[in-house]
Structure 1
C-alpha cells in the first residue's frame, strides 16, 4: 500500500531532524575506542563484583594457614547452689541451707602438631584456587573489554547503516517527484509512479528498522560502558595481531585465561584429594589448660589446675564416610582433568573461527569496495538511460537498491573485521589494558593477597564502605547536545511549514554549537561516589580523605546535586581539581588500585 504524500513528509522531517541531531553530535568532542574501554574497565559492575569475589578467594589461604596455629579459648562460670544434709529419715536437716557459690575461670590452648597432612594440602589447594580466581578475573576483564569493543563497533556500524538508509529515503523522494512530473506530462504510466511510491515506502521502513537496531546497539554500549554513546570516532586501526594462526595458537596455549583457570582448577582438585585422605590418618595435638575454681568449704578455699597433655587420635573405623569422601574427591579430580581437555578444545575452536572470520572479512572488504564502485557507475548509467527512455523506472529503483545493499554490506564487512580482530586478542589472552596501551593502571589482585594471606586478626571493613558506580554516568570525554525528537512528533504537514520546521532545527543546532564554553571546562574532576543527602556526601569525603590521604589529602571536595527524575536527587562527590585529563586519570587509577571506584568528569 503506497504511503500518502502528507505521511511521507512527516517521516522525512523526522529523518532530517535525526540527521541534524547526528550532525550536532559529530561537532562535539569525539569518544575514542580507548575512552570507552577505559570507562568500562574502571567502572563495570561485572569487574567490580569479580574483584570482590577474588578478594574473598584470597582469604582461603589465611584460613588454610590457621591450621598451623594454636587456638586459645577462655571460659568463666558462676554457680549458686543450696544444699541441705541430714541423717536417716529425719525430717529436719543437720546442716540446713548450706550455700555454695563456686566460681571458675580458665583458659585452654590447643596446638595441632600433625593433622594427617591436611594443613599442607589445604594451603596448596588454596594457592591453586587463588591463581584460578586470578585467571577467571582476567577472563572476565577480557569479556568486558571484548563486549565493549564489539558494542562500540556495533554502534558505529548501525549509525552508518542508518545514515545510508536516510540518504536512500532522500534520493527516492527526489526520484518520486521526478516520476510524478514525467507522469503529469504523459511520458510514463501510473504504474511507474506506483513503483516509485512503493520503493520509497520500503526505504522508510528500512530506515525505521535501522534506527531501532541503532537504539539496541546504544543500549548494549551503555550496558558495558555505563553511559550512552556520544560521537564515536573511527578506530585508529586494527590492533597488532600474530603473524599467523599457528603463532596465535602458540600464544593462546600459554595465555588463554580460561585454559589457565582450568589448569589451576585441576591442580586444586588434586590437593583436595590429599585433604580427603588426611581425614583417614592419625592426628597429633598438644593441649594445655589452666583454671582456678573458687569454692569455699571447710576443706579448701580454691582449686587451681595446670596441665599439659599430648593427644594422639587414630581413626580405626569411620562408618565408611571418610573413604567415600576420598573416592568422591578422586572423581572430582578426574572431572577437572577432563574439563581442562574440553577447555583446550573450545579455545582452539574459537581461535580457528575468529581467524577465519578475520581473513574472510578482509577479503570481503576488498570485494565490497569494488562492488560499491561498480554499482555507483551502473547506477549513474541507468539514471541516464531512464532519461532517454531505454530503461524503465523499475530498473532505476532496482539499481538504487543494489547500490544501497552493497554499501551496507561494506559496512558489515568493516565491522566484522574489527570484531574478529578483537576476538582473536581475547582468545590468545592479549586483550588487557597493558597490552592495548590504554594508559590506565591495571588492577593488581596480588596486592590484596599479600596483605591477607598470613593475617591473624582483623574483621576487615564493611562492604558498605565501598561506594558503587553511578548508574547514570556522564560521558568521559564528550558532552553531546541533543535535539529533542519529541517536539517533532506533531510537526505540521503543510509543505512550507514543514520546511520551516526543519530549518528551525538547523538553527537550534547552530545555536548549540556556538554556545560559549562553560567556565572551568579546562580542569577535570574525579567522581568517586554518590549519596542521597549532602550531609552524607560530606561525611563520605571525610572518611575517604582520611583513608586515602596519600591521594586525596591535597584535593578538595566538590559536591554537586543531580536530579534523576523518578529516582530523586543525588549528591555526587568529586575530588579535584586536576590540571588536565592525564592527571585526573592518574588520580583515578591510583584510587582504583586502593579499591575505590571512580570516573573522570568535567565540572
Structure 2
C-alpha cells in the first residue's frame, strides 16, 4: 500500500473531528456545562447598579420660599444581595443542571460511539465494493473467453449451440454484476468522503478486531456501567427528581441579606440632596399560588415517566448487547468459514477448468465453477467487513 494510505483509526479520528453531528453534540455539552455554572451562581451574591438623570423645570410654588428653577434631577443606587435561604430552589437547580450536564456528555459519547461504528461500516463498504468490482471484472473477462471458445468449438462442429447460449447468458449475468459493483463503489466512496472528509482512494486493509469482552457476562456488565445511552436515561431520572424537588421548594420562603447605597439630587426642589445607606434582611413568601399543586403533580409524573424510560433503556441495552455479542462471535466464524469456502471454490474452479479442457466435463460445469468461485470470494470480502463492523458495534454498546 502507498505510504499515505489511510487506516481505519485515522478515518475514525477524521470523522470525529469532521462530522457536524459530533460538533453539535459537543456544543450541546458545552451549553449544558454553562447552564450548570449558571445554576451554581444562584447561591452567590449579586450587585445591581441603577441610575436616572433628566432635565426639567421645578416650581415649588414658593414652598419654603423657593421659586421656580431649571433642574437636572438625578439618582443612583447600588444594591448587593446575598441569598441566605431559598427553600431548596438553588440546590434543586444545581442538581437538575448537574444531571443535564451528565446527560449532555452521555449524548456526546453516544454520538461518538455511533459515529465510530458508522465509519467502520463505511470503511468496510469501500474495501468490499472495490473487491467486488475486481472480482466482477475478472468474471466478465473469464466469461468472455469462455464464450469465445464456445463459439469457436461450435463453428468447428465440436460442441452444440447450447454451450454458446449458456456462455452468453452467463456473460450477460456477469456484466450486470459488474454494473452493480461499479454503482456500489461510487456510493461507498461518497459515503466515506462525507463522513470523514478524506479521499477513499488509498485505504489500508481491514485490521484485526479491537479487544472485545471475552464473555457475554463481561460485555453485559460493561454495558450496564458505561453504556452512554443508558447513562443519559439515568441522568434524565436525576433531572426529573431535581425538578420535582424544585417544584416543592417554590412553596417555601426565601431570605436574603442586602446592602444598599443611594444618592438623590434635584428631585423635590432645586438643590435637593440626599444620600442613604441601608443594611438588612429581606424575606419573601408567596403564601398562596393556585398552580403550585398542579406543578408538583406534573413534576411527580415526569419522575415516573423518566424512571420508566430508564427501565426501558436498560432492557433495550441488555437485548442489544446479547445480539451484538453473538453477532461479533458469529462474524468471526463466518469469516473463517468464508475463507475456507473461497479457497475450496478457487481450487474447484481450477480443477473443473482443466477437466473441461480435456473433455471430462461439459462447459456448463466450468460456468458454474466460475460463478461459485466469484461468489465465494465476494462472500469473504463481505464477511471481513461485517466482522469489523460487528466488533465496533459491540464496543459502542459497552461505552468503549
TM-score, reference length from structure 2: 0.91
1:162, distance to aligned residue in structure 2 (A): 1.4
Task: Provide the rounded CA distance (Å) in 1 between the counterparts of 2:59 and 2:93.
Answer: 56
* 8 Å Cα contact 2:206-2:388 kept in structure 1: no
Confirm or deny that 1:35 pairs with 2:10: yes
1:429, 1:370 → 2: CA distance?
34
Aligned to 1:248: 219
Match of 1:47 in 2: 22
SS in 2 for 1:286: strand
| Partner in structure 1 of residue 113 of structure 2 | 142
Residue of structure 2 equivalent to 1:119: 90
- What residue ranges of structure 2 are gaps of 5+ in the alignment? none
> What corresponds to 1:56 in structure 2?
31
Question: Match of 2:369?
Answer: 399
From the two aligned structures, give the one with the greater helix fraction: 2
- Further displaced range: 71-80 or 140-149: 71-80
Tell me if the contact between 1:155 and 1:217 (Cα under 8 Å) persists in the aligned partners.
yes
For 1:408 and 1:27, how far apart are their aligned partners in 2?
A: 24
Q: Alpha-carbon deviations, 1:55-104, whole Å to 9, x = none?
A: 111111221122112222222223444456889xxxxxx99855444222
User: How many angstroms does 1:110 deviate by?
Assistant: 2.8
Pair 1:84–1:204, CA change in 2 (3 A): same
- What is the deviation of 1:168? 0.5
Residue 198 (structure 1) aligned with residue 173 (structure 2): no
Q: 2: distance between equivalents of 1:298 and 1:170?
A: 107
State whether structure 2 residue 254 is matched by structure 1 residue 279.
no
Partners of 2:242 and 2:297 lie apart in 1 by: 14
Greater RCO structure (CA 8 Å; 6+ sep): 2
| Equivalent of 2:304 in 326, 331, 334 | 334
Alpha carbons 1:266, 1:340 under 8 Å: kept: yes
CA RMSD of aligned residues (A): 2.5
Could you tell me which residue of structure 2 aligns to residue 345 of structure 1? 315
8 A Cα contact 1:113 1:285, kept in partner: yes
Q: Secondary structure in 2 aligned to 1:77? A: strand
Tell me: CA distance 1:81–1:203, structure 2 relative to 1, closer, same or farther (3 Å). same
The answer as to whether partners of 1:358 and 1:417 remain within 8 angstroms in 2 is yes
Query: In the aligned structure 2, how far is the partner of 1:232 from the partner of 1:299?
Result: 86
Could you say if the C-alpha distance between residues 289 and 398 of structure 1 is closer, same or farther in structure 2, counting changes exceeding 3 Å? same
Runs in 1 of length 4+ with deviation above 4 angstroms?
83-87, 94-100, 296-300
Alpha-carbon separation, structure 1, partners of 2:218 and 2:59: 93
| Structure 1 residues 39 and 80: alpha-carbon distance in aligned structure 2, compared to 1, 3 A threshold | closer
Tell me, yes or no, if the aligned pair for 1:69 and 1:111 is still in contact at 8 Å: yes
Query: Partners of 1:426 and 1:116 in 2: how far apart?
Result: 42
Residue 374 of structure 1 is aligned with which of 339, 344, 360?
344
What is aligned with 1:181?
152
Q: Does 2:371 align with 1:424?
A: no
Within 1, Cα distance between the matches of 2:328 and 2:353?
A: 37
Match of 1:218 among 189, 204, 216: 189
Q: How does 1:81-100 map to 2 (within 5 A)?
A: 81-82=56-57, 98-100=69-71
CA distance in 2, matches of 1:48, 1:283: 40
* CA distance in 2 between partners of 1:103 and 1:364 (Å): 86
Q: CA shift at 1:164, angstroms?
A: 0.9
Determine the C-alpha separation between the residues in 2 that align with 1:74 and 1:376. Answer: 86
In 2, distance between residues paired with 1:129 and 1:80? 50
Q: How high is the TM-score relative to the length of structure 1?
A: 0.62
The answer to whether the Cα contact below 8 Å between 1:291 and 1:304 also exists between their aligned partners in 2 is yes
Asked if the contact 1:295–1:303 (Cα under 8 Å) also holds between the matched residues in 2, the reply is no
Post-superposition offset of 1:30: 2.5
Write out per-residue CA displacement over residues 419-445 of structure 1, whole angstroms, 9 at most, x where no aligned residue.
111111111112xxxxxxxxxxxxxxx
Unmatched tracts of structure 1, length 5 or more: 1-25, 88-93, 431-603
How far has the Cα of 1:381 moved from its partner?
A: 4.1
Q: Does 1:68 align with 2:38?
A: no
Tell me which residue corresponds to 2:285.
314
C-alpha change, 1:362 and 1:105, in structure 2 (3 Å) is closer
- Equivalent in 237, 248, 270 of residue 266 of structure 1: 237
For residues 219 and 281 of structure 2, the distance between their equivalents in structure 1, rounded to whole angstroms, comes to 59
